[in-house]
Structure 1
Amino acid sequence: MKISPRSAKIFVTIIITIALDQVSKVLVRSCVETGSSSPIIGSYFQLMNVENEGAFLGMGSELNDTLRIILLLVLPVVVLGLVLRYILKDKKLDKWSLFAFSIIIGGGIANVFDRIAFGSVTDFLYIKLTDLLRTGIFNIADLAVTTGMIILIIGSFRKKKTYP
């Protein structure tokens, strides 16, 4: 089976995203005590080690096991599979959209892998500029998904829409 250069770029981007996320999580799990916090740039940027059993900001962690499996494992795998199929088939997507979808898929796969392998997702980055300007605790996969979404949103404003 021959893989096109376009498909190869998609898969390489997905694999690099997964690898960056998983390597960072291995380092955090081995070097940062669970529940601890280490300042990187004062109190503005901190390294932590938190196990998140839910989704974004822990949402869904209180769900029963069956619902958690459906909403945090089965549904994401189905959606990621459909998005991958879409970007492989739609040859009209521009390079930025392909990159954005690829890092979203890579980030999604990385977090699903954590849920399957560890029962939770390791989050470790925290930014607090002020009491109002701060993030939740996140990881590289979350950063990839967010960055991909921002690229897609910006790209949607840049495309000229033609109406009949």
Structure 2
Amino acid sequence: MKFTKRNIYIVLVIVITIAIDQISKILVRTSIQPRNEFQPGERISVIGDMFIMMNVENTGAFLGMGSDLNPTLRIILLLILPILVLGFVLRHILKDTSIDKWSLFAFASIIGGGIANVYDRIVYGSVTDFFFIDLGGVFRTGIFNMADLSVTTGMIILVFVSFGKKKKDEDIEQTA
């Protein structure tokens, strides 16, 4: 890997994403009583009942999916496969210099969030989730963490960039 400004930017976004996620999880693990099978755990109201923090150890993936899988399948689907995909995406963004800055940021955020959650699964056997949003039933999330937020933000940016490119391509076709 060449040390270009672009590659340093990619690595920096990934490292900062991982650092923010891991620091937030350390703070949650040390300061919020976790939920387990015997007790509901501590719930900290940040903004009324709309924004709540709690400590939940998630042994599955998104919203706990996969937590009931047998251990071998869980290792394949929640560790090996994500590591391979993250590696391929990282290789792609390092090699393809035609990727625009917004997409580059989005991909690096996704990779950073993915690495942070894979790290948790390897080191702790689960992923610490702690944010919950409920806007009066109009909008409600599952319990998530900063890595999840980074991955989701990256995906949303990619969708907007994709629509922008599609619109630009349509405009070019109409003028031609």
Q: In structure 1, how many angstroms separate the alpha carbons of the residues matched to 2:50 and 2:138?
A: 12
CA RMSD of aligned residues (A): 1.4
Q: Which residue of 2 aligns with 1:4?
A: 4
Q: 2:71 aligns with which of 46, 65, 76?
A: 65
Q: Which residue of 2 aligns with 1:17?
A: 17
3-state SS of 2:169 partner: coil
1:161 aligns with 2:163: no
1:42 aligns with 2:48: yes
Q: In structure 1, how many angstroms separate the alpha carbons of the residues matched to 2:69 and 2:2?
A: 44
TM-score (norm: length of structure 1): 0.97
Report the CA distance between 1:112 and its aligned residue. 0.1
Report the CA distance between 1:116 and its aligned residue. 0.1
1:122 aligns with 2:128: yes
Report the CA distance between 1:161 and its aligned residue. 2.9
Q: Which residue of 1 aligns with 2:152?
A: 146
Q: Which residue of 2 aligns with 1:84?
A: 90
Count of paired positions: 164
3-state SS of 2:129 partner: strand
3-state SS of 1:161 partner: helix
TM-score (norm: length of structure 2): 0.90
The farther-off stretch of 13-22 and 132-141 is 132-141
Q: In structure 2, how many angstroms separate the alpha carbons of the residues matched to 1:60 and 1:2?
A: 38
Identity percentage over the alignment? Answer: 63
Question: 5+ unaligned residues in a row in structure 2: which ranges?
Answer: 36-41
Q: In structure 1, how many angstroms separate the alpha carbons of the residues matched to 2:87 and 2:26?
A: 26
Report the CA distance between 1:147 and its aligned residue. 0.1
Letter in 2 for 1:112: V
1:54 aligns with 2:60: yes
Q: Which residue of 2 aligns with 1:110?
A: 116
- Return closer, same or farther for 1:2/1:93 CA change in 2, 3 Å cut-off: closer
Q: Which residue of 1 aligns with 2:38?
A: none
Q: Which runs of 4+ in 1 moved over 2 A?
A: 160-163
Q: Which has the larger radius of gyration?
A: 2
Residue by residue over 1:26-58, the C-alpha shift from the partner in whole angstroms, topping out at 9 and shown as x without a partner, is: 000000000221101110000000000000000
Q: In structure 1, how many angstroms separate the alpha carbons of the residues matched to 2:115 and 2:21?
A: 10
Question: 5+ unaligned residues in a row in structure 1: which ranges?
Answer: none
